[in-house]
Amino acid sequence: MLICTFSAAAQHPLSRGRRTSQYDYLYQLTDKEAVEIVKDGQKKISSACLHTLRDSVLHDSPLPANLPAGNYLRVFAKDDRLYTAFTAVNNVAVKFGMNGRDLIVILHDQHGALIKDAEARIGKSKLSYDAQTQTWRKDKYNKEELLQISYKGVLNCIPLTRGNNGYSGRKHQTIIQRLKYKILRKRSRHNLLKDYTYRYGSYIVFSKPVYKPGDTVKVKAF
């Protein structure tokens, strides 16, 4: 007779249980929502943005390879809160020409080919296309703004910095001007690149702290 012994846990304390949702859900944003979130951050994220569910993935796993290009909110639960993160899947690669004066934009598609039929704009101002150099240009431009590139129905949001044209603008500045420039740049980069996280507060109460096999689990959500 062969006798084997083993130990098995019928349950484990809730404190050691899973603290996040099993899946992250991907909601597609409109162009207007994407621009507002990139510009102004989490204060522009609300439940109204969760209108178009496109896909789901295991929590913290990479995005699906077949996910269409676009702008999404990635939504997951952790503990008693719901989190969202802005996620962009661009269909263009952006490079900048350096002449120290103008904003020069060079676009490639996902296969590395030059793009000629996109639309590039900053706010309401449309960038002109130079067919000879195959670039989009804005003369004498060196500001921190949001570059919006529309290509094949997808809006790509690209935050600009003052160094995109190769001009630092610091050679003839006074100490006060340099300090002011650094402060403004830090604030602008923080607003454009900060983490887009929005929280919903709630909690769940269980009928007792520990359950035995066969017990009925009763919960109430607030």
Name which of 114-128, 136-150, 156-170 the model is least confident about: 156-170
Residue 42 phi, psi (nearest 5):
-65, -20
Ranges of H-type helices in 8-150 = 31-40
CA atoms of 55 and 32, how far apart (whole Å): 21
pLDDT at 156 over 90: yes
Q: Which pLDDT score is estimated for 3?
A: 36
- Average pLDDT taken over every residue of the chain: 80
* CATH 2.60.40 domain extents, the chain: 93-167
Q: Which pLDDT score is estimated for 93?
A: 94
Q: Which pLDDT score is estimated for 212?
A: 73
Q: Which pLDDT score is estimated for 191?
A: 54
pLDDT at 168 over 80: no
Q: Which pLDDT score is estimated for 107?
A: 96
> Which residues, 6+ apart, have CB-to-CB distance to 210 below 8 Å?
11, 13
Q: Just give the CATH number of 93-167.
A: 2.60.40
CB half-sphere exposure, 5, CA atoms < 13 A: 0
Q: What is the DSSP string of 155-184?
A: EEEEE--GGGGS----TT--HHHHHHHHHH
Q: What percent of the chain has pLDDT over 70?
A: 71
Q: What share of the chain is helix, strand, coil (3-state, %, to 5)?
A: 20, 35, 45
CA atoms of 92 and 106, how far apart (whole Å): 10
The beta-strand segments (E) located in the chain are 23-28, 53-58, 70-78, 81-89, 93-97, 103-108, 119-122, 125-126, 128-130, 135-138, 146-151, 154-159, 200-201, 204-206, 219-221
pLDDT at 56 over 60: yes
Among 92, 91, 71, 94, smallest CA distance to 196 is for 71
Q: What does the pLDDT look like over 170-204, one tens digit per residue?
A: 455 566 666 666 666 665 555 554 444 444 455 56
pLDDT at 159 over 80: yes
Name which of 16-20, 63-67, 112-116, 202-206 the model is least confident about: 202-206
Q: Which pLDDT score is estimated for 141?
A: 84
pLDDT at 88 over 50: yes
Q: Which pLDDT score is estimated for 114?
A: 94
Tokens of 188: 């602008």
Handedness of CA 189, 35, 40, 127 (dihedral sign): positive
Tokens of 218: 């009763």
Q: Which pLDDT score is estimated for 4?
A: 36
